[in-house]
Amino acid sequence: MTNQTLPPLSSLRVIESSILGPAAITTALGDLGADIIKVEAPSGDYIREMTWPIIEGVSLMHYHLNRGKKSITLDLKNEAAREIYRELVRGADVVIEASKPGALARYGLGYEDLRKINPKIVFCTVSGYGMTGPYKDMPSHGIAYDTWCGVVKPAYDDEGFCYIPEHVGIGINAAPLFGGLAVLAGVIRARETGEGCFMELAQSDAAAAFDWYRSESHMAYARPEDVVTGNKADGYVRRPVATAGMKEGVRYQLYDSADGHVLFMASEQAFWKNFCAGLDRIDLFDKWPGSKYADHARGNRELQAILRDIFRSRKTQEWIDFGVKFNTPIAPVNTPANIVDDPQFKDRFKVLPHDKHGADMLGFPVKFIGEPEADPSRAPTVGEHTDAVLEQVLGYDAARIAAVRAQGALG
């Protein structure tokens, strides 16, 4: 493999002590070629048994989050195991503590301990609510960060019982984006200066930061109305925050097509004119030309009824083709179940196949032009790479591996 086709992060080594969802912080790093050594207790990360679906006895979550990683078992209650951990850190760039903050420090493997043997180490601890604040000691799971940051609206069934509605998980997905970016920033600086750093990431913080537009809009609206207004197309009247303000939209709205739904987005006057001209209905533009930008024709039920009938006259694909031909934005409305059938998805996404990876999974979305797409290895079984890591990374021979095993270091 030439230098031009080496994976982008092939020079990065990460020692990861993780359980459950926070392991996601390194998944993308592994997709990009980083050497991720997942240090597990002898009993293993029970993520393999968590959630559903379970595929041949192993959870999809494990297959996805821990793909591309190596697994080594170390019983950190054992001093011989702790010494192996230190040896791994000597040649690493990053240590991830994806569990309760301070878990590694209890074994003498916290940041202050590890920086003494590797001053360039970037140490990141990932937890639910972080190291400070009144919630720092609260146990939690991923949906807690969604409810905390306000993205989940409680729902009620026919018997009046409250339940968790279907929603996109934010905390478990946002934290790896912010965390991975920060870790790489720390590594770049450490390689330039020789000094590592200690960073901490709360999944709840990441969820709130990811949904910044809504919370910041509410903060803006808390200020006087003569200072913070709506936009010009609405006569500067305040709309409800973010997508809540889209409900009464007409030129930016969902519509039934002949075989599904489409999203119509002609809020710019130029796009709206293109749409009307393409339909040979310039009369609609003449009657309701709208403002130049961000005009959704809010509350115009007469126009909405006309558009409802128009969109029902063609299939979704016909509307997509129309939008391309006449330069007006119209998008398909997919579901998590059928998006894999979308032609754009088929063209863009490399699906990692179950026969090789244990489950069918979406590959890394960023493409490096002229280079092969990421193809991480299958998520490991508990301790699958223990001997290989000791031999290939630390240079242990068979006798020394047998010795540390006899000491109980490997569990």
All structural domains of the chain? 13-209+350-407 (3.40.50.10540), 245-332 (3.30.1540.10)
Q: How high is the pLDDT of residue 1? A: 45
CA distance 234 to 142: 38
Q: How high is the pLDDT of residue 100? A: 87
CA distance 212 to 214: 6
Q: How high is the pLDDT of residue 374? A: 86
pTM of this structure: 0.92
Residues 161-203 pLDDT 10s: 999 999 999 988 999 999 999 999 999 999 999 999 999 999 9
Mean pLDDT value across the chain: 95
What one-letter code names the amino acid at 312? R
Residues 67-121 pLDDT 10s: 999 999 999 999 999 999 999 999 999 999 998 899 999 999 999 999 999 999 9
Residues 364-411 pLDDT 10s: 999 999 998 889 999 999 999 999 999 999 999 999 999 999 999 999
What one-letter code names the amino acid at 152? V
Cα separations in angstroms, 221 against 242, 296, 341: 12, 21, 41
Question: Residue 128 has which token pair?
Answer: 């639910």
Question: At 38, phi and psi to the nearest 5?
Answer: -90, 115
Q: How high is the pLDDT of residue 3? A: 54
Contact 145, 21 (CB under 8 A): no
Strand partners, 124: 96, 199
Question: Residue 341 has which token pair?
Answer: 């059938």
Contacts of 128 (CB under 8 A, 6+ apart): 135, 138, 139, 140, 144, 145, 202, 203, 204
Say yes or no to pLDDT of 273 above 80. yes
Strand partners, 15: 37, 95
Contacts of 187 (CB under 8 A, 6+ apart): 12, 93, 94, 122
CA distance 403 to 319: 69
N-term to C-term CA, the chain: 37
Average pLDDT over residues 197-218: 96
Say yes or no to pLDDT of 233 above 90. no
pLDDT confidence tier of residue 4, bands split at 50, 70 and 90: low
CA distance 348 to 376: 18
Contact 241, 299 (CB under 8 A): no
Of 62, 102, 159, residue with least CA distance to 379: 62
Q: How high is the pLDDT of residue 171? A: 86
Contacts of 382 (CB under 8 A, 6+ apart): 40, 42, 43, 44, 45, 48, 71, 73
Q: How high is the pLDDT of residue 399? A: 97
Name the burial class of residue 252, with classes exposed (0-12), middle (13-18) and buried (19+) by CB atoms within 10 angstroms of its CB. buried
- The dihedral over CA atoms of 181, 182, 185, 190, expressed in degrees to the nearest 10, equals -140
Residues 18-45 pLDDT 10s: 999 999 999 999 999 999 999 999 999 9
Residue whose tokens read 């590694």: 104
Cα separations in angstroms, 389 against 88, 259, 340: 9, 54, 37
